[in-house]
């Protein structure tokens, strides 16, 4: 039997979210029409939603947002390292809206002029540029051996995940906990505990700027990955439960990948792992 998952049930003591069939996803919009969330003038933390987009520029190595890469040995209990976790002003803007509010809105570059009119955005606004970039990401052809897609509802994400994990599989989400407003974006964290949650088939999803939640998700066939829950204590005393994804086979990666450059490694020499901000997520069976 195919189990259709429709809502998130969260254990506040964990960074694991279980997709549950109980209720339709809660919406921050209570009106009967199509409510949308306005985009900020720029990304809240000043950085791209995905560190994976960083390139070969030397400035990338100096970008505080790049302080998310590590290896498995770095999450041994007692280890300390600088990590960047962005603060989120409005967590609701990263939660899916119900499918009935978004399914009829095209996610298409060809329809961008109509979409801008629909959302009342000026064509030369920051919002218009962000929407254009997100639509380009969503329409990119997947690299060989990968499947990818953009999703605007839990239902569509679950369908995608069950196509990979199997039609009868339960589907869960792992994401980092929110940090407090007083927490420095970049500080030293000490590992208190690390637990492997899942290995094998994992789907990484990155939030992209849009008037409502859009997640760009990708999965590589034949890849070996692991995801950990890492409990951290910051220098300021704050606690953080972080999602930590490891790509175990890096032999085919470009030697110029920022993870290699930051960790001073070569392709195939080691796994490359990275901490997830709380607005991104890992989908697991």
Could you read off the pLDDT of 73-118 as tens digits, one per residue? 999 999 999 999 999 888 888 899 988 888 889 999 999 999 999 9
What is the arithmetic mean of pLDDT over 146-170? 93
Predicted local confidence at residue 252, as pLDDT:
84
Predicted local confidence at residue 203, as pLDDT:
95
Predicted local confidence at residue 52, as pLDDT:
46
Residue 32: partners with Cβ closer than 8 Å, 6 or more residues away? none
Q: Is 282 in contact with 202 (CB distance < 8 Å)? A: yes
Asked whether the whole model's pTM tops 0.85, one would answer no
Predicted local confidence at residue 38, as pLDDT:
52
Predicted local confidence at residue 4, as pLDDT:
30
Residue 170, classified by CB atoms within 10 Å of its CB into exposed (0-12), middle (13-18) or buried (19+), is middle
Predicted local confidence at residue 122, as pLDDT:
94
Residue 146: partners with Cβ closer than 8 Å, 6 or more residues away? 218, 219, 220, 221
Highest mean pLDDT, choosing among 28-37, 85-94, 162-171, 249-258:
162-171
Whole-angstrom distance, CA of residue 275 vs CA of residue 174: 11
DSSP H or E stretch at residue 227: strand 225-234
Predicted local confidence at residue 253, as pLDDT:
85
Please state, rounded to an integer, the average pLDDT across all residues of the chain: 82
- Does pLDDT of 30 surpass 60? no
What is the arithmetic mean of pLDDT over 223-238? 93
* pLDDT digits 0-9 by tens, 160-219: 999 999 999 999 999 999 998 889 999 999 999 999 998 889 999 999 999 999 999 999
- Does pLDDT of 241 surpass 50? yes
Predicted local confidence at residue 206, as pLDDT:
95
Per DSSP, 89 falls in state S
Residue 196: Cβ within 10 Å count: 12
Predicted local confidence at residue 40, as pLDDT:
47
Q: Report helix, strand or coil for 254.
A: coil
Number of H helices, E strands in the chain: 6, 13
């Amino acid at each position: 039997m195919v189990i259709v998952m429709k809502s998130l049930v969260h254990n506040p003591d964990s960074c694991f979210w279980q997709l549950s069939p109980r209720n339709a996803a809660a919406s921050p919009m209570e009106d009967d029409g199509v409510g949308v969330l306005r985009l900020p003038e720029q990304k809240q933390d000043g950085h791209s939603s995905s560190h994976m987009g960083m390139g070969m520029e030397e400035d990338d190595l100096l970008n505080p947002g790049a302080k998310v890469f590590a290896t498995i040995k770095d999450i041994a209990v007692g280890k300390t390292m600088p990590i960047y976790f962005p603060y989120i002003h409005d967590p609701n803007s990263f939660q899916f809206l119900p499918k009935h509010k978004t399914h009829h809105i095209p996610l298409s570059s060809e329809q961008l002029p109509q979409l801008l009119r629909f959302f009342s955005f000026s064509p030369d606004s920051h919002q218009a540029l962000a929407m254009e970039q997100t639509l380009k990401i969503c329409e990119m052809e997947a690299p060989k051996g990968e499947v990818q897609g953009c999703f605007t509802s839990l239902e569509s994400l679950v369908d995608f995940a069950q196509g990979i994990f199997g039609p009868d599989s339960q589907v869960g989400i792992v994401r980092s906990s929110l940090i407090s407003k007083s927490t420095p974006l970049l500080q030293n964290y000490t590992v208190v505990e690390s637990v492997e949650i899942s290995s094998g088939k994992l789907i990484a999803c990155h939030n992209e700027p849009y008037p409502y939640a859009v997640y760009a998700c990708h999965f590589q066939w034949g890849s070996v990955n692991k995801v950990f829950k890492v409990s951290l204590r910051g220098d300021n005393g704050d606690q953080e439960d972080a999602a930590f994804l490891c790509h175990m086979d890096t032999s085919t990666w470009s030697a110029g990948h920022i993870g290699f450059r930051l960790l001073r490694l070569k392709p195939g020499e080691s796994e490359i792992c990275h901490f997830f901000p709380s607005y991104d997520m890992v989908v697991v069976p």
